[in-house]
């Protein structure tokens, strides 16, 4: 029963059904053993973080909780600081996460597993900060820990090392081919590698994930939309993104991809600007906006060189 509950929760989380994860982990913990309860708690608080319930995670996780859960609390504090543009809080949370890599509990029955749980969180945060080399140093070796492999693959893709990302995914297939997370990794690499067959295969992966539950999640819909954009199927992508934004108007991935799609479709500037303003409202520090500001500044600087005196 415990393993069945964990399997279902994992797939719900990886597919992006975070609300259901919160509900199911709450009920499953009432009749689970200690080890399973810890795993359920990990996904419970990850789902709360994914739904931006940072304060709740920070309040509920205490020093009496396992180190892996305390790492999630530190991540929640970090993300809350990022969201509120609190630079000092952001730096303090990042320093705390680094320090947690050195912490070991003498009462921990599974110190290696705990270490991997902490590394996954720290690696994700460092990668989001652009500290790619440091993140990779933290994550390797990954000891065939599936979530660690997923973070390593994301880091390699961020480094534009498609060859190394593909190597990790190919190796992962020998021991975790049927796992949903392994299939998602294959889709990530396929989308970056490009080509009609790879795009189509990635689409099938997201489509299968979408149909695995009663209702497709925003995460799976955005994945399908990205595949359609890459295949040049813009009308299909537009319909899927509209469905995603109907489900969650604040989803930044859906908004950004809608901006990209509208640009490709040569939609009126007013419609594109409305989406940009929407993104500025829900995520003023989003990397897309930072990149847009940088490119706009570079363009203005270049234009001044040709300005008529």
Global pTM exceeds 0.85 = yes
Under the banding of pLDDT at 50, 70 and 90, the label for residue 309 is low
Residue 89: CB atoms within 10 Å: 15
Selection from 27, 83, 29, 28 nearest residue 55 by Cα: 83
Question: For the chain, first and last CA: distance in Å?
Answer: 77
Position 146 scores a pLDDT of 96
Pull the structure tokens for residue 96. Answer: 């705390």
Residue 265: CB atoms within 10 Å: 13
Selection from 240, 279, 239, 243 nearest residue 259 by Cα: 279
Angle between the N-to-C axes of helices 146-158 and 162-176, in degrees from 0 to 180, rounded to the nearest 10: 160
**pLDDT mean over 248-262:** 96
Report the alpha-carbon distance of residue 84 to residue 35 in Å, rounded: 35
In sequence order, which residues have a C-beta less than 8 Å from that of residue 140 and are 6 or more positions away?
152
Selection from 253, 254, 251 nearest residue 240 by Cα: 254
* pLDDT tens by residue, 103-146: 887 777 788 889 999 999 999 999 999 999 999 999 999 989 99
* pLDDT tens by residue, 65-107: 999 999 999 999 999 999 888 999 999 999 999 999 998 877 7
Position 1 scores a pLDDT of 45
Pick the residue with more confidence: 272 or 302? 272
Q: Over the chain, what is the mean pLDDT?
A: 93
Length of the chain: 309
* pLDDT tens by residue, 192-235: 999 889 999 999 999 999 988 778 999 999 999 999 999 999 99
């Amino acid at each position: 029963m415990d393993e069945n509950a964990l399997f279902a929760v994992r797939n719900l989380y990886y597919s992006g059904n975070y609300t259901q994860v919160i509900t199911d982990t709450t009920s499953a913990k009432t009749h689970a053993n200690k080890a399973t309860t810890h795993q359920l708690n990990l996904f419970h608080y990850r789902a709360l973080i994914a739904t931006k319930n940072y304060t709740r995670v920070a309040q509920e996780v205490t020093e009496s909780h396992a180190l892996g859960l305390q790492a999630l609390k530190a991540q929640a504090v970090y993300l809350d600081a990022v969201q509120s543009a609190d630079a000092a809080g952001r730096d303090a949370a990042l320093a705390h996460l680094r320090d947690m890599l050195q912490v070991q509990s003498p009462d921990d029955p599974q110190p290696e597993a705990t270490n991997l749980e902490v590394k996954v969180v720290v690696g994700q945060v460092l990668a989001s900060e652009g500290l790619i080399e440091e993140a990779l140093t933290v994550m390797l070796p990954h000891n065939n820990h599936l979530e660690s492999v997923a973070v390593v693959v994301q880091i390699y893709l961020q480094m534009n090392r498609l060859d190394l990302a593909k190597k990790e995914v190919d190796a992962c297939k020998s021991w975790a081919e049927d796992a949903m997370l392994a299939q998602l990794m294959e889709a990530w690499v396929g989308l970056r590698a490009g080509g009609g067959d790879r795009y189509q295969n990635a689409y099938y992966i997201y489509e299968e994930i979408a149909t695995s539950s009663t209702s497709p999640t925003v995460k799976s819909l955005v994945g399908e939309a990205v595949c359609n954009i890459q295949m040049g199927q813009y009308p299909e992508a537009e319909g899927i993104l509209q469905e995603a934004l109907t489900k969650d108007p604040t989803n930044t991935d859906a908004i950004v991809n809608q901006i990209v799609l509208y640009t490709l479709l040569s939609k009126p500037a007013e419609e594109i600007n409305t989406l940009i303003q929407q993104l500025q409202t829900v995520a003023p520090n989003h990397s897309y906006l930072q990149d847009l500001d940088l490119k706009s500044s570079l363009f203005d600087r270049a234009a001044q060189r040709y300005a008529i005196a």
